[in-house]
Amino acid sequence: MWNLKNMTDIEYKHLFEWRENSLKKRKRLFQVHPNMLFNCSVDEDKIYFCPTFGYQDTKLLAVESAGKTLPDPDYYVKRNGCYYYILEFVLSGKGYLYSDGQYYTLEKNNAYLLRPNSDHIYFSDQNDPYEKIWFNFYCGSIEPFLQTLQNDRTVFKNVSCADKFLELYNMLLECNTRDYGKDYGQIYSPSNYNGIYLNVVKTLFDILFCLTNDNIEQTPQSIEHTLKNILDSSIYQKINLQDIARSLLVTQQTLNYKFKKAYGITPYQYYSDLKIEESKKLLLSGLYSLDNISEKLCFPDAFYFSNVFKQKTGMRPSAFVKAHGKPATNLN
C-alpha cells in the first residue's frame, strides 16, 4: 500500500487519513474535548502531577503528567493545540508524526518535542507499534533556552541519552509511588530545592542539551555564552536575569560574575548597550518618536530612555539625530 521507508507528503497524507478513518469506523476514537481525539491502551502507564490549567504561564518547570505508552497497534493522538510542551522518546517499534505541516516516521531512539499551541497527530505503526516514554510539562524558561541552542527542531534522530529519559521517568514514577503527585507544592515549590525538584529540572535540561548536541554536533555552551545569546536575541523584549539564572540552574550572582569575567562588563551593561545601539538605528530612521522607541525597547518611559542614551553616548537623542544631519522634528 505505502512505501513506508521513503514516503512522499501525499503518501503520508493518505496514510494519516486512512488511519483516522479506519479507527472511526471501528469506533476506536474518543473525543476527549473539542480539540483532541485519541485512542490509547488501557495498559498505558500514566503519572499525574498538576492540573491541566493554571500552570501554563509558570517560569519554572511544572510537570502536568508523564507516562509510558506500551505497544498498541491502535494507539492514536490528535490535538489542535495544547497548553504544554510534549517530550517523547521511542524505546522500540515504529510510529508516525504530523506537526505543523511536516510529516515524520518515528523509530527506536528517536525523540520529539512538540511546542505549546502546535497542531499535531501521532500514532503507532500497526505491524510494529512503538513503546515510548512521554512527558507533558509547562516551563516559561524553556523557549529562550532552546533559542540559545538554536534548537527549533521537532524530531531528533539517533538520540544518545536514552538513560536520561529513563532516569527522568523513574524519578517521576517514584514521586507518584510516594503519593507526592497528590500535592504539587511538595515537589515543585520553587523554594523546595532540597527535594526532587532540582533533579527533575537538571535531568530535563540535560536531555535538551543532549538532543541539540546529537543533532547539530556542537558542545554545550558555557552559561555566560548562553546568556549572551539570550540578550542578543531579546533586544525588543523585557527580560529578567533572575529567571534566566534559575533556568540555567545557577544563582544570579554566579551568572553576573561569569558573564563579567568573560566579557568585561555586567549583563545589565551589555544589554543596555545593545538597546542603545538599536535605538540609534530607530532614531536615524525618522519613523519613531521617543515614546515609540522607549516602548519598543522596553524602557520605562521616554525620559528614562533619554537619560540612559545620554549616559551611554554623551548626548541627548535629539542632539544625536541632528549631529547626523537628520531633522529631529519627529521625536516629539
Greatest Cα pair distance, the chain, in angstroms, is 76
Please write the tens of the pLDDT for every residue from 92-139: 999 999 987 788 999 999 999 998 888 899 999 988 999 999 988 877
| Overall pTM > 0.85 | no
Please write the tens of the pLDDT for every residue from 161-212: 889 999 888 888 776 654 444 444 444 444 444 456 778 888 888 888 888 7
Rounded (10°) angle between helices 223-232 and 252-263: 80
Please write the tens of the pLDDT for every residue from 148-159: 555 567 888 888
Mean pLDDT, rounded, for 45-66: 60
**Distance from the Cα of residue 219 to its chain's centroid:** 19
Can you give the pLDDT at residue 93? 94
In which element (H, E) is residue 126 found? none
* Angle at alpha carbon of residue 167, lines to 166 and 168, rounded to 5°: 90
Between the alpha carbon of residue 329 and those of residues 289, 290, 297, 301, 304, the distances in Å are 9, 11, 21, 19, 20
Can you give the pLDDT at residue 328? 61
| Contact between residue 176 and residue 63 where contact means Cβ atoms under 8 Å apart | no
